Amino acid sequence: MQVYSLNNLRKSLDCFCNKNFFFEQLIYKIPPKCEIDFKIDKKKYHRSFFYCKNCNHWFSDLKNINLGNLYEGNFNNSIYKNKFLKTFKKIIKLPKSKSDNFQRSKRIKNFSDNFFKNFDKKYLKIFDIGSGMGVFPFVMKKFGYNCEAVDPDKNAVKHIIKNVKIKAYCGDFLKIKSKKKYNIITFNKVLEHVVNPVLLLKHSQKFLKKNNSIIYVELPDGEQAIKTLEGKNKQEFTIDHLHVFSLQSLEKLLRLGGFISLLSSRYIEPSGKVTISAFAKPISSLRKN
């Protein structure tokens, strides 16, 4: 993961809405209680979020904090301490009403069943980006879908191949070399962790089938998170989130990535996370029709 300042980000991206109404609003000198312990020197812990008044988007500024290659192993180690299978089994045994992942999977299934109503789902191919422990593809596989995954953590990928029993690639999604095409590409709580999520959306089009293809994007809802009792200390604003979105900035992000939203939603998940999501299709597919 790159370390960056707001100025560096603005030189390469500006805000998704192309405005410059930024101001520093949230400042952190100590980690929120809900934040994962990444073993950052307490004397060096200083970060903030800048806010776009035009579209309600939040940009993280990590100051001089270096998270290094967080998603190549340290992130999952910090959360699961290499107990992938034990944690995986615990999550998949959660009651459906208490499982964020089941609700997500059900949401995607319901939309895709309607969007691809003339297709046999066993021929529909899903590519899940940043799969972590593979709980999402596990459930979608149970629903009858053909899933593949990619994650930068080699231990996570080994676990997915062995225990979820699906094809999984290890590495940076932007560097994956494959000629395979998919009907659905999913970004489940992924794009908030990268410096330039637009690049990932643009790159994903290389893996989508020319016709009848969609993406699903799920992100933390900063617009609602800041209004809660926890406010700046809610989990949506932890250090690993380089962006925290609003419905407006999500729509702008999709457009910049070459997509148009088909359905966007906001909700509170069983875990208490406030979330926004969208199903979208490539703009290029509309031009051909």
Q: What CATH number should be reported for the domain holding residue 134?
A: 3.40.50.150
Q: What pLDDT is stored for residue 8 in this prediction?
A: 45
DSSP β-bridge partners for residue 218: 188, 277
- Interatomic CA distance for residues 188 and 30, integer angstroms: 28
Total domain count, the chain: 1
- Interatomic CA distance for residues 108 and 209, integer angstroms: 18
**Structure token pair of residue 154:** 């080699």
Answer whether residue 77 is part of any domain.
no
Answer whether residue 98 is part of any domain.
yes
- List the domain range (segments joined by +) for residue 126: 90-288
pTM: 0.90
Answer whether residue 44 is part of any domain.
no
Answer whether residue 211 is part of any domain.
yes
Q: Is the pLDDT of residue 94 over 60?
A: yes
Q: Is the pLDDT of residue 105 over 90?
A: yes
Place 119 in a pLDDT band, splitting at 50, 70 and 90: confident
Place 68 in a pLDDT band, splitting at 50, 70 and 90: low
- DSSP annotation of 266 reads E
Answer whether residue 71 is part of any domain.
no
DSSP β-bridge partners for residue 24: 50
Q: Is the pLDDT of residue 40 over 90?
A: no
Answer whether residue 4 is part of any domain.
no
Answer whether residue 33 is part of any domain.
no
Task: Note whether 124 and 141 are within 8 A (CB).
Answer: no
Q: Is the pLDDT of residue 163 over 90?
A: yes
Average pLDDT over residues 4-29: 68
Answer whether residue 145 is part of any domain.
yes
217 by DSSP, 3-state: which?
A: strand
